[in-house]
Chains A and B, each alone.
Chain A
């Protein structure tokens, strides 16, 4: 089993590639890997309950740990009460924790 950290920085309403990132996370988890999806910058716009956020709930149900950079959430005025179920706010330190632990990190 490999530990993967996928970092999603893109606005899901602007970039279709975001769905490919989510698919990659799901496929890696289905293959038995430990997968974390960390949303940063405009990537956190997907974390607010909307037409695109259910995909994150699905990822969480499939075993992917879905985190949203708390700084980016604050910048965009997204309060925790508005987050999609399955998404947890987290400090940017989580990225460093994964790098410390030797996770395979991928930025999108």
Chain B
């Protein structure tokens, strides 16, 4: 992409993994942004900090009669890794910050590579320096 058309887009997400269609939609939006050649920044807070938790594990499904490999249960950490790989392939950057307080509350400090720990102040800085920002809030 021509550098003049390349944008930096920030997404703020807060839904925990395995719970909401919003996580899937957020990943689809990041995927679309990267495929269009943009740099992507993700600020994860509240439950969304567990999306990159490295200890997520695939499991068998006795109801389906499948072992873990056959079940091939999708894990959000792998989906984030796929987005990171897509960014590299497209010559884009994908930065990911997890809110540190939210991480500590949930005990999910062991995050995959390519992610950082930060504060809500980072979201403010990103929003200030990005071309646009989309906040995807959760609901009870």
* Chain A residues packing against B (C-beta within 8 Å): 9-10, 40-42, 71, 91-93, 95-96, 99-100, 102-103, 105, 107
Q: Does A41 contact B25, Cβ atoms closer than 8 Å?
A: yes
Q: How many angstroms between the C-alpha atoms of A96 and B136 in the bound complex?
A: 14
Q: How many angstroms between the C-alpha atoms of A9 and B32 in the bound complex?
A: 18
Residue of B nearest to A10 (CB): B139
Can you offer 16 A-B residue contacts whose CB atoms are under 8 A?
A9-B21, A9-B22, A41-B21, A41-B22, A42-B21, A71-B28, A91-B32, A93-B32, A93-B36, A95-B134, A99-B132, A100-B9, A102-B131, A105-B132, A107-B134, A107-B135
Residues of chain B lying within 8 A (CB to CB) of residue A40: 25
Q: In the assembled complex, how far is the CB of residue A54 from the closest CB belonging to chain B, in whole angstroms?
A: 25
Which residues of B, 98-140, contact A by the 8 Å Cβ criterion? 131-137, 139
B: interface residue count bin: 20 to 34
Q: Does A95 contact B32, Cβ atoms closer than 8 Å?
A: yes
